[in-house]
């Protein structure tokens, strides 16, 4: 997986910073549902965004400062989106 914005399973994943940190906003139906950030070799995924009331739903060490390669990025981005989707499905009731 290349370092770029993409769409997958109803989510719009927008690259907002290419490096140091590499970060993405994740939207569904034009609403923020997730924030993905890789810095110092640690990938954090928060829902619904990076705010004070957000929940960390995925955390992984990825190597030194960035993903090792595009395959590693793809692996962790799929895990991140699965964690966001689980959070979204659990929390969307009544909204």
Structure confidence at residue 19 (pLDDT): 85
Looking at the domain assignment, is residue 54 inside a domain? yes
Looking at the domain assignment, is residue 52 inside a domain? yes
Looking at the domain assignment, is residue 50 inside a domain? yes
pTM metric for this prediction: 0.92
Domain that holds residue 47: 6-91
* Residue 45 near residue 34, CB atoms below 8 Å: yes
Task: Indicate the Cα dihedral angle 54, 58, 62, 64, nearest 10°.
Answer: 20
Looking at the domain assignment, is residue 14 inside a domain? yes
**Total structural domains within the chain:** 1
- What pLDDT digit, counting tens, does each position of 8-55 carry? 999 999 999 988 899 999 999 999 999 999 999 999 999 999 999 999
pLDDT at 6 over 90: yes
- What pLDDT digit, counting tens, does each position of 65-93 carry? 788 888 989 999 999 999 999 999 999 85
Looking at the domain assignment, is residue 1 inside a domain? no
Structure confidence at residue 93 (pLDDT): 58
Q: What are phi and psi of 80, to 5 degrees?
A: -65, -45
């Amino acid at each position: 997986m290349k370092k770029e914005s993409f769409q997958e399973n109803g989510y719009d994943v927008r690259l907002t910073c290419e490096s140091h940190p590499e970060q993405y906003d994740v939207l569904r139906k034009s609403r923020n549902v997730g924030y993905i950030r890789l810095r110092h070799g640690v990938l954090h995924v928060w829902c619904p965004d990076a705010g004070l009331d957000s929940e960390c739903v995925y955390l992984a060490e990825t190597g030194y400062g960035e993903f090792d390669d595009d395959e590693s990025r793809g692996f962790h981005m799929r895990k991140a989106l699965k964690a966001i989707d689980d959070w979204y499905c659990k929390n969307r009731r009544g909204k």
